[in-house]
Structure 1
Amino acid sequence: MESEGASASGHGHGSVGDLREAETASAAEVATLVEPSFDENVLRALCETDCGVQLLLDRIKQSTISCKEVAVFLKKRAALEDEYSKQLQKLARTSSADYSAASEAKGGSFVEAWQASMRIHDTMAEKRSSFAIRLNEMSEELQNLVKEVEKNRKATKDLSTRYERSLQESETMTEKAKARVEMTAEELERLLLQKEGESLKDNAMQTRSPVNGKRVIGKAVAKGGLLLKGKNPQNLQRQEDDVRARMSAASDTYRKVMIETQAIRQEYFNFQLPRILRSLKECVDEIDLGTQYHLSRYAFLTESIVHDEATTLQPPEDRGPRSLGLKATMESIDNRADFRTWMDLYVYAHAGQNSRAPRRNGPEEDGFLPPIAALQHQQHVAASSPGPALAHLPKARPTFGIDLTEQMARDDVDVPPILEKMCEAIEKYGLDQQGLYRIAGTHLKVNKLKDLLDRDLDAVNLDADEWRSEISNVTSALKAWLRELPDPVITQALYQDFIDAARNENERARHIRLHERVNALPDPNYSTLRYLMGHLHKVVQHSELNSMTVQNVAIVIGPSLFNSLNLQDTSLQNKAVETILEHYTDIFVDEAEE
């Protein structure tokens, strides 16, 4: 019994030590630090209840479910915002491009207002895209919070379970030790009664049964049983000594186990339970406050995006006269001025083409002019008429639609003069223009500029207010010149080689292959591409002002350089131009220095 008691005692001490080691090992997982603002009254009330731990565990489960629902909502809202931004951006850019390609659409203030409104919609789409990104980030943060809190909840629950099990095992051992003491005490009591019964024999208090002739023990002895029947006094004494020894050992074991149980109980209720409750309460506070923070942040971002859209639609006055809102942009359309301009251009373009129309001038004023006077009148009309009115006059040095090699051989130059002229004007007046090259010019003005450049390149003054104030007309004319080359800058013969080189997923390999293809271009095409890429390199260097990054420039210039009808290769064409432009210095500048 002593060894059994010692074993039980050792088991009790081992359990407490193991729990302490387990608590130390999981200290990184279970938060035990309590904020100074922790409500001690709440902690005291939880300690006094029998279900404080389970109460907090269930509360954490509720909070995690709520947090998950918020995270799912934010993720779905982000998906909606992202899809909305993509569709709005696609609509704005497609509408802008389609209108620019519509040759018979209205020009003047209408096209300017229309393109400006599309830029406003594009800006709104970009802000919605940023909003979607922020919502996705918040959703991921909440999901991570849920994982962390559930991890801490499980670790704290396991720790609490181990302490409770240890206390229950110790209490069970105490009950068993107490039962041994009581059983040994009863055995000693029966032995003493039996012994007392043997002493009554000498006093003639024992009688024989008249029935069977056997000895009858008194009631006190009969109550204890006949365990020691036939025992002599020496055996009785030895039995008494043995029972008393076992009684003493059982009492010592019971006392020792009871002290250990009281120590474990005090440690659990006075130290471990409050720490466990504090840890669980901190988990509740962490997930509740985290959820509320992200909900408040969501509300703030929602208000901010609505406010940003409002300021985009109607900018404050302190942003300057160029920052027109959507309503002011639409109101800037001047139909009367547009119609007057259109009427003048139409008359210039179609005057004299309808021979059946009534003639305002008589033959004496028009039909019978002397030959010299008629020629002078024709030249006067040509000089004062824009665009189409000059179509019937001979072109001095045409460049649009003329082979690149032929142009440069004719003019004896290394770079086409028309390219130099337009690039210099664009660099002088357009590097800070938003959407340079991306925003199309007015169709009629672009055609007029093409006609003037085709007729007398040197006589065209691109510093005039007509061209510098709307630099998009110059960029559109430049792209038209590239598209109308019979053989594009990236020649048809080398087209597939450029496309194959652009397919390389490895950036370095793609750069090397495209460098080789550029070097394989004919000299006129190589020098033209080199000059154009140098110009576009300057455009990209001002991307903070014009929003034209390498990718944006490649998208708008790529089709003009390749001029291919194969739409499936559009992304590869853009990737080729993007790579060449990114490595402009390595491909052109360093090679020229060598």
Structure 2
Amino acid sequence: MHANSANSANSANSENVFLRNDDERQRKVQSLNMNTSPPQSSSIRSSRPISMFVHPQEKQSLTSSTLEEQQQQFVISLTDISQSFDQESLSSSDNNAERSNDIAGLVKLLFALERVKQDSLSAKAYEYGRMMIKLAKNMQESHENNDTKQGSYGENWISMLKLHEAIGENRVKFAAAIQEISEEAKLKYEIHSEDWERTILQKNGDLAPNPKPKTLPKSIFSKQPKSPTQLIKMEEDARNKAAISDDTYKYHLSIANSSRHEYYDIHLPRMITALKETADECDIGIQYHLARYAYLFENTMVSDALTISPVNPEDGPSLRKVVEQINNEEDYYSYIRVYSSKARKVKNFDIPYDPYNMSEQAISIIKPKNIFGVDLAEQMARDEHEIPVILIKCAEAIEQTGGLESKGIYRLSGIQSHIQKLRTLFDRNSESVNLLTEEQLIADINNVTSVLKLWFRELPDPLFTNAMYYDFINAAKNSDDRKRVLELHDRVNHLPDPNYSTLKYLMNHLHRVVQHQEVNMMTVQNLGIVFGPTLMDNEGLNDMAWQCKVVETILENYLGIFVQ
């Protein structure tokens, strides 16, 4: 009876507490409801907190103090509701507390508000507007810097770019408004999450720890012997304690069963109802934010449309009008007028023939200036030289490379293949030949002396001309040395000018060779033997000795004949 009466009293008290809490919670929730609604939301429930869902246009009409007061009331209401649920769960058994904790997982529906933020950010309206502004500015700079069409086309193209830039700015403003909505929702969500977590921690901190299990008295199992009287007394005590424990167990069991019935019959329906209301508020909030998004997006699209095609003429021409104002023909004639003064006048005349200037090396191959086998006077007149080039270059090469001290110079012959190669080079263009660079050919100085002697031998008319051949032979036959020198001097002075200048240069060179006769072993007599048949007609072999005598006498008296 005592247990039943206590159980009934506890049930009545707990029911009264929960009824009071439920009435208080309903009163606070109803106080949060506002009469405002989003655009086109006549069919939506009006039970939503104004602090969570405030339209920007509505927010302008509210003062800052009103908004702060509404936000504080909404936070207090959520805290009171959470605490009422915690008190109800604490009044039941441990099993009921564990079941009530599962309800916290259902509150994750509040994450739907975060979904609204994700949806709004996924539009990337800010990025779209920023890139459009950047593209318009880049195109405008490119048009100004590059040489593009001017006139009406350029002006209208700039106008088109400015229109696109204005559209981009509208998109940026639209993105900023969407971002503001998402940040407000995120802030409210974080505040409510912190309040919920705080209430959960407070609830867990109030739970009493589990009592330690009681142990049986050690006297029952003591090893000391007991008397029958003591055993009977201990039995009666144990029976009384067992009866008391049984009554206590039944009492607490009845309380537990009463709490279970109270939870399933009263508290669970209330919590489900509260959860349903919370879910409805989330749905209403999501729908409201979507309505705000549609409203802002519609305004942005209308603003873009008005920018592209203004209604009032004073707002500027439309995009189509800007394009239609392009006058390509007028731009063309304007371009002609501007650049005609700068353009160079074209004269109509025949293009003259300009022959190709070939290199000297190529000309020497196509039109070689042959010197071998060509009359001395003819080649000197052609090349406009007083002394043959081959004689000058061969003499300089011999003197500069130490050939004057070469033993047997002009007496020894060179390599035939090298001699022919030097002949080919001189026959192409004697002026371009540089013997000092032909190291392989002049490694043996006899190659140079041999090609020079070959050139003298192949002259059509020898250096001592055929017409004066016998004059030189007869003068050489004179036994008087003085008269022989005078007669040869007279014959040399009667030589043609090309022959005289060539003979003078050759004798000057041979005079230097004779000066090194102690080294090269080439005396006047030896050089006379080499150059006698070379410089005179060698058809008469019987006159070879006199030919050598002519060269020997002239070389021996070089200074008296040519210098003094």
Q: Comparing both chains, which one has the higher relative contact order based on Cα–Cα distances under 8 Å and sequence gaps of 6 or more?
A: 1
Find the structure with the greater CA-based Rg. 2
**TM, length-normalised to structure 2:** 0.35
